[in-house]
Structure 1
């Protein structure tokens, strides 16, 4: 009888110890997530390594995947071989929930700017995926960045009390911009711009205050129809109220070069049910260009 009691007690202790071990492992795994500071540091470390042409000290996952302009590369290829320095501009988009650290960054290739969209996919505090888009600016480029020596106005403004949206509604609000492009009219697309909304594309104000053109109104500008536009959610910075979308604008004749479409990582400051600021880095790529990375969140069709 006493042997049975001892065996039972030992069994209980073993089960309890195993449960504690599992709980401890779960807690340890939870601590492997990056917070905002960790994500900022990860982006800085990545950009420093990029400029130094030396990925050896980065915390890379064994199965790290790399794309540049939607083409598969090995770490150290592509812009890693040509970049010569950092410019003056960087804006981060930190998605703690999905462990995605993204940024728009101005880099240099000699004297010429390279507008760099970078999306780091993190897992267990390591870089498991590196997704980028590069737009090279030359003296002959149509868009010469004039707004990248300072922060993009409004993107980092604190969200007013009571105006913060849920992640899902932030995404829905941002996607009304895609719908406006699809139908060729932001009024018909139901895109809710705030009165102060303006848009910066490749470092140039193209709509709203500071645009400097005859047709600067977001609701009055003549925009072409983009019936084949595709959108994917790259990151949602819930704390700062910013949604970063990847978009392929689809077929629009020869508007973006014969056989090309505009491909962009475009950021939308969203709160109170309205879009308050827009910043995009884009370039022309073959119309068939896909993202080849999953959307962080479902995109309603």
Structure 2
């Protein structure tokens, strides 16, 4: 199977941050397969799509995300409209398209949340995939230029590892994420950006928490959260309560960037990494109570979070997060995100 993918795709390998982008290869001699080159060298590439470049609006970007996911579970990306230079990463590591979930995914969730932002050239797909029958939470950040896929960053949270981890099959996105805003009542991007940035600044203890709507719950990997811990029995994971109690004391830094806005639905997608140094085994919340740390070792968490904004408040928050080595750098430097 891997050999088939390598032949079909030309073994796309993305460059690490600061190194050269992938370039089209010299044709292999007849009867020979393309050579897989190791990290650090100029990798081989699939030939670019022959279609003429075109502008890609929101519908086009959503279509690309769906095409990508369809190809992923078929383990065959040979018909996707790749650019002539492509980057690809999973859980922060640059790899070949023929590896990772391209070699293991066998099915995908039927009801993903897809956010597209033509101004940024981004599409985000949030749902689940099966790897040989084992379901996991899954998200991609796809970047396109002229209707061709330039880069993809995938985040997958498998069952193995520390909590939280819910049921990817049973989990459904809150209906609020699909609800559109009345025409003319859209929240300006500057306000949405301000709310989201205040959310992360407050998690880091650097500012006051933003306003939260009634019924706002922090959901991570399908599980209601109170701070950095799954909500205990009888607790709701209420957004305002988690912040008022100061339950994010383990966080050292939250590196993040806004990936996409959906003005019609009032959505903001953020990708980033939370750094937890593990220097202490407990912390004191803003309520004055002591809390045990979630774990006793240094670690980071890569995350993709989608916010639902209603008016001047955060109404819903859903995240996929997976553990990474402490202070793990991004696979490459993304251009500045969409401006408010």
Normalising TM by the smaller chain, what interval? 0.7 to 0.9
Distance apart, 1:163 and its partner CA: 3.9
Counterpart position of 1:251: 276
1:112, distance to aligned residue in structure 2 (A): 1.6
Instruction: Confirm or deny: 8 A CA contact 1:230 1:247 kept in the other structure.
Output: yes
TM-score by length of 2: 0.70
Q: TM-score of the superposition, structure 1-length normalised? A: 0.79
* Cα deviation code 1:195-224 (max 9, x no counterpart): 1212221112336xxx75336332223412
Determine the structure 1 residue equivalent to 2:264: 239
- Identify the residue that residue 239 of structure 2 maps to in structure 1: 218
> Within 1, Cα distance between the matches of 2:147 and 2:212?
37
Matches within 5 A, 1:139-288: 142-145=164-167, 148-160=170-182, 163-183=185-205, 189-206=208-225, 213-214=234-235, 216-221=237-242, 222=245, 223-225=247-249, 226-253=251-278, 255=294, 258-288=297-327
User: 1:169 offset after TM fit, Å?
Assistant: 2.2
Equivalences for residues 34-183 of structure 1 within 5 A? 34-138=56-160, 142-145=164-167, 148-160=170-182, 163-183=185-205
* CA distance 1:140–1:259, change in 2 (3 Å): closer
- Alpha-carbon contact 2:136-2:168 (below 8 Å) kept: no
Range that drifts further, 134-143 or 190-199: 134-143
Query: Is the Cα contact below 8 Å between 1:96 and 1:237 reproduced in 2?
Result: no
**1:159/1:61 CA distance change after superposition, 3 Å:** same
Q: Secondary structure at the match of 1:183?
A: coil
**Post-superposition shift, 1:172?**
1.5
Q: Unpaired runs of 5+ in structure 1?
A: 1-28
Structure label with greater radius of gyration:
1
CA distance in 1, matches of 2:134, 2:157: 11
Query: How many residue pairs were aligned?
Result: 265
Pair 181,147 (structure 1): closer, same or farther in 2 beyond 3 Å: farther
Is residue 166–residue 223 contact of structure 2 (8 Å, CA) maintained in 1? yes
The answer (yes or no) to whether the contact 2:305–2:317 under 8 Å persists in 1 is: yes
RMSD (CA atoms): 2.7
Q: CA deviation at 1:104?
A: 0.7
SS of match in other structure, 1:38: helix
Q: Which shifted more, 228-237 or 126-135?
A: 228-237
Deviations, residues 139-185 of structure 1 (Å, cap 9, x unaligned): 9964222685433231111224654222232111111110121018x
